[in-house]
Amino acid sequence: MALLSNPFNRKKIFARADARHECRIEGEIILTEKMVSYEGRLINLSRGGAMFRPRLAYLMNRRGDAVQVQAAGLALAGEIVATTPLGFGVRFDQPLSDAELAHLLGHGASEAAAA
């Protein structure tokens, strides 16, 4: 008889690898295969990914599309892993360095102060 891996049907607890930081950083997302871009903003950010909210009335499901997020002078390659009412969830191909994360968050703080 095989042992059950989850005998009590408990839900798996989801834990993020990196902390998310709320932000408002103006930027652009480029669908690299189609070379189509959308302006918008990063609304939260972590070392491994971000949530990008395009300035669109309707969001199409783009899960699996390769993208480049451009914000604060950085170009970050990644993949859309989720489409939600808030925007596109992007997982970066390479985690952000501490310097890149600080640069982006600092840029977001300066944009918020200017508004």
For residue 41, the model assigns a pLDDT of 96
Helix (H, G, I), strand (E, B) or coil at 103: helix
Q: Over the stretch 26-55, which tens digit does the pLDDT of each residue have? A: 999 999 999 999 999 999 999 999 999 999
Q: Over the stretch 74-104, which tens digit does the pLDDT of each residue have? A: 999 999 999 999 999 999 999 999 999 999 9
For residue 14, the model assigns a pLDDT of 47
CA distance 106 to 57: 29
CA distance 51 to 61: 14
- State what percent of residues in the chain have pLDDT above 70: 79
The token pair at 4 is 């059950």
